[in-house]
Amino acid sequence: MAKVAAEGAPYGLAIDTTRRIAYVTLTVTNRVQAFRLDGQTPKADRSWPTLRQPNDVGVDPTSGRIVVAGAADSALQLIDP
């Protein structure tokens, strides 16, 4: 099992099996971090700012669009990577 650092209190997780990318919400920094799953160890890729307290994340396997749910504002954010 591989471990990788994700600073900012990782919380929510979604995996895009089509593109082999894991998305992790970071609640302290209000960001979503992408990790490439191409090798044995996940590699940090892009990250995006999010709404406050991003607790949940999902991904549409067809389009790759990321959906983030923020607990603080009861809002959704759509990200097209």
Cα–Cα distance for residue pair 3/78, rounded to 1 Å: 28
Is 2 part of any domain?
no
Q: What angle do CA 67, 2, 4 make, to 5 degrees?
A: 55
Please report whether residue 14 resides in a domain: yes
Q: Does 5 map to a domain? A: no
Number of domains within the chain: 1
CA-based torsion, 62, 36, 48, 59: positive or negative: positive
Neighbours of 26 (CB within 10 A): 19
Range of the domain at 32: 10-79
Report the CATH number at residue 22.
Answer: 2.40.10.500
pTM: 0.92
Question: pLDDT digit string (tens) for 18-45?
Answer: 999 999 999 999 999 999 999 888 999 9
